[in-house]
Amino acid sequence: MLWIGYVFGDFIRSITGWEHQWILMLVLLLTGLRLLIKAFRSSAEESAFDLRNVRVLLFVAFALGMNTLIVGTGLSFINQERSHSFLIFSIASLSLSVLGLILGKKYGKYEFGNKFELLGGFILCGIGLKIALQLLGVI
């Protein structure tokens, strides 16, 4: 899915000629805002999934695949070697997935739910704002 997103992003960029920094800033801000809104609107129990149900597991797998597709699209707008980006993303994704499994097993059901969504939202919005300020020449 990462590669498919990369090819899709190259296709969009070739058709539209959009600048990659503005697209990246917009995607980061919108994703961060979505995470913040979700964290404030729902409790940790509401956002938990029962992964023993096959239908739920398939839905979560599909959603993660869509996230990977979006990341691949975003990577196509960054001027960096493709194989290097894919390797870094794959290692980070695997490491964070294993860390999530370990923390989830150790700390129980709903210890950190919305706190990590808040943290992720603030980080993404912060990076997006930094890029926007750089593009506008403020910093």
| Region 84-99 average pLDDT | 82
Please give the structure tokens belonging to residue 60: 């979560």
- What's the pLDDT score for residue 111? 59
Q: What is the per-residue pLDDT across 30-87, written as a single tens digit (0 to 9) for each?
A: 888 888 888 787 665 555 566 677 887 788 778 778 777 877 777 777 766 777 778 8
Question: Is residue 135 predicted with pLDDT exceeding 60?
Answer: yes
Least confident of 1-5, 75-79, 91-95, 130-134: 75-79
Against a cut of 0.75, is the pTM above it? no
